[in-house]
Structure 1
Amino acid sequence: MLKDYITVSDSVSLKKIQSLKEKKFEDPCFWTGMTKYRSGNSTALVGSYEQISESLIKYIKVGITEFIFSSSPHLETVSGIGKEILPLVREKINNKQFCAENCQYSVFK
């Protein structure tokens, strides 16, 4: 049923998300494994806290300054975002070298 919906949908966003599963990305944490099962947001960053924080830094460096954070399973892993990942990102983007190279992107102060 979902596959039929995805196939006939005229949603531009849905088609873009679905097309991601056929592309290769330079970010090893970027995962598209749920795109065939979900019609909405179905991509994720998957890896260790350090790996995910490094991926976020790459996105910040190219100008992405807003993220939607979630996790699965929700209750068991969501605290890792606030307690582990965001402090790593803050530490990295708020150091002098990063700010000298990308000062407009220090968004986690």
Structure 2
Amino acid sequence: WVPIAAASGGSGNSTALVGTPDQVAEAIVRYYDLGVRGVLIRGFDPLHDTVAYGRELIPAIRTMVAERDASQRALA
């Protein structure tokens, strides 16, 4: 999705995650699995997107991370 980032004038952005909140959360959590502990997110409509992140994306990420952490603790 690099063309979307370029077309939107996403200077400095190298990629974009596109999909439903759960699909984007899963993609972000894959970075978490690799050791990444912080990401920057932004959309095309900052006000609307910020509300959507708070209602849908961030809770989905938290749930997925908690599930992964719990399964890792169970294996330890």
Shorter-chain TM range is 0.7 to 0.9
- Structure 1 Cα separation of the partners of residues 31 and 18 of structure 2: 15
Q: C-alpha displacement at 1:38, in angstroms?
A: 4.5
Counterpart residue number, 1:52 = 24
Normalised to the residue count of structure 1, the TM-score between the two structures is 0.55
Match of 1:74 in 2: 46
Corresponding residue of 2:2? 32
The alignment covers a number of residue pairs equal to 70
Gaps of at least 5 residues in structure 2 are none
Query: Which residue in 2 is equivalent to 1:91?
Result: 63
Greater percentage in helix: 2
Once the two structures are TM-superposed, the CA of residue 42 in structure 1 deviates from its matched residue by 4.7
Identity of aligned residues (%): 27
**What amino acid does structure 2 have at the position aligned with 1:32?**
V
Cα distance change of structure 1 residues 54 and 38 upon mapping to structure 2, 3 Å threshold: closer
Q: TM-score by structure 2 length?
A: 0.75
Asked whether the 8 Å contact 1:72–1:78 carries over to 2, the reply is: no
Q: Deviations over 1:33-74 (max 9, x none)?
A: 133655422522111001001101111001111111211111
- Cα RMSD for the two superposed structures: 2.0
